[in-house]
Amino acid sequence: MMAFLKKYEGLWLFVHSPAAIIAAAVAMVIIFGAVFASGIALVDPYDLASFSLFDGLLPPVWQEGANPKYLLGTDDQGRDMISSILYGARVSLIIGLSALAIAAFLGVGLGLAAGYYGGRFDIIVMRIADVQLALPAILTALLIDGIARGLLPQSIQQDLRVAVLTLAIAMSLWVNFARTARASTFVEMNKEYVHAAIMMGQRPSRVMFVHILPNVLGPLLVIMTVDLASAILLEATLSFLGIGLPADSPSLGTLIRIGMQFLLSGEWWILWIPTIVLVALVVSINILGDFLRDIFNPRLR
């Protein structure tokens, strides 16, 4: 038993961390709901025929005047809140994950190469990263969005919204990966197993990806979870600012922006329920990220 626990220390820590378990459960529920949204949801919020204005502004079931069919009520168009949220979470997650994948691919590749080759290549990559740092995430995203508006004709702009948004978020996140991968690679480059591989005459790509990469994955994994949270927040923020996704294919951020119209009236659920779901998702991911950080940095325990 002891040997087993020692071997799977991460699992042991997980089982004994209520916060991590709850966070994982919440994240799983939201992700599950998002993945199977079309199966679970009562209505398709993109399909105007599947809901009607007559059901508009119904409160959640525990309040008076509710329709038990709509557990969390409906918005002004008569859309079921649960359905909107499931589809919204799906959009948020798709954009967040794709942005993360692009950022990680670009950042880790550049960071590894910068750390491995050093010299001029390293300086160029890091200076670009410096410039990127001087333009914070939201700014970069807004900028790319603005450029896309200027460059692309009106007609295809709507179709490309998701792609532009994803790219904008990815561009603002790659620096994190690049800097972390590079710093870790520098540390690994001074280790003798890397010298051994270079001495043998192994190809640089093999040294980087077969030898160094597995050793720098830990911190990158932490960045990945934290940045997934940032990506989702960023998307929500951009959508909230009205620059992200339009109202006909709402993400969680768009739902909150729509709900803002009801801040002063009585229909609190239209604003606060999507907000709670968004915050719960991001908090869960951040808790899991923190947990991973603790695993990879045992001294902080």
Partner 1 sequence: MVYFILKRIVQSVFVMAAVAFLAFSLFRFVGDPVTQMTGVETSVEDQERLRDELGLNDPFVYQFVRFTHEMVLGDFGFSYRTRQPVANMIADRIPATLELGVVALIISLMVGVPAGVYTALNSRGVMTQTILMTTLVGVSIPTFVIGIMLIFIFGVQLGWLPTFGRGGTVHIGNWQSSLFTIDGWRALLLPAITLGVYQLTLTMRLVRAEMMEVMRSDYIRFGMARGVPMRSLYYKHALKNTLVPVITIVGLQFGGVIAFSIVTESVFQWPGLGLLFLESIRFVDIPVMGVYLVVIAFFFVLVNLVVDLLYVAIDPRLRIRDVHDGLPEKI
Partner 2 sequence: MLSIKGLTVKFPSRFGDFTAIEDVHMTIKPGEIHGLVGESGAGKSTVGAAVIGLLQSPGYVAGGTISLGETDLQSLTFAQAHELRGDRISMIFQDPQTSLNPLMTIEDQLIETIQAHSDVSEATARKQAVDLLEEIGIQDASARIKAYPHQFSGGMRQRVVIALAICTDPDLIIADEPTTALDVAVQSQVLDLIQRLAKERQIAFMLITHDIGVIAQVADRVTVMRNGHVMESGETAQVLGMPKNAYTLSLMRAVPPLDRKIDRFHVPKEDGIASAQGNMAERWLLEGQRHDLTGLSVENLTVAFEGPRTSLFCKPPTYVALNDVSLNIKPGSIMGLVGESGSGKSTLAKVITGLVTPQKGVMNLGGAALPAGKSRSRHHLSRQLVQMVFQDPYSSLNSRHRVGDILAETLWFYGFIKDPTERKNMAASMLSLVGMPLDAISKYPHQFSGGQRQRIAVARALLARPRFLICDEPTSALDVSIQAEILNLLKDLQAKFGLTILFISHNLAVVRQMADDTAVLRNGKIEEVNNTEALYENPQHEYTKSLLAQTPVMPPSWGA
Q: Which residues bind partner 1 (CB under 8 A)?
A: 19, 118, 122, 126-127, 130-131, 133-139, 142-143, 145-147, 149-151, 179, 182-183, 186, 189-190, 195, 229, 233, 236-237, 240-243, 253, 256, 260, 263-264, 271, 275, 278-279, 282-283, 285-287, 290, 299-300
> At its nearest, how many Å lie between partner 2 and the CB of residue 196?
6
b/e map 76-92, b = 16+ CB within 10 Å: ebbbbbbbbbbbbbbbb
Pick from partner 1, partner 2, none: which does 275 bind, CB < 5 to 8 A by kind?
partner 1
Judge whether 60 and 274 are in contact, CB under 8 Å.
no
Q: Which is nearer to partner 2, 11 or 160 (CB)?
A: 11
What is the Cα–Cα distance from 62 to 83, expressed in whole angstroms?
A: 18
Six-digit token string for 272: 């606060």
CA count, 13 A, side-chain hemisphere, 129: 23
Six-digit token string for 142: 């807004």
Q: Which residue type does 165 have?
A: L
At residue 69, φ and ψ (nearest 5 deg) are -65, -35
What is the Cα–Cα distance from 8 to 30, expressed in whole angstroms?
A: 27
Pick from partner 1, partner 2, none: which does 69 bind, CB < 5 to 8 A by kind?
none
Q: Which is nearer to partner 1, 38 or 157 (CB)?
A: 157
Binding mask 208-237 for partner 2 (x = CB under 8 A): ---x--xx----------------------
Judge whether 76 and 56 are in contact, CB under 8 Å.
yes
Q: Which is nearer to partner 2, 127 or 191 (CB)?
A: 191
Asked if 69 interacts with partner 2 (CB under 8 A), we say: no
What is the Cα–Cα distance from 141 to 106, expressed in whole angstroms?
A: 17
Binding mask 6-25 for partner 2 (x = CB under 8 A): x-----x-------------
Pick from partner 2, partner 1, none: which does 134 bind, CB < 5 to 8 A by kind?
partner 1
What is the Cα–Cα distance from 71 to 81, expressed in whole angstroms?
A: 8
Pick from partner 2, partner 1, none: which does 143 bind, CB < 5 to 8 A by kind?
partner 1
Q: Which residues make up the interface to partner 2 (CB under 8 A)? A: 2, 5-6, 12, 191-193, 195-203, 211, 214-215
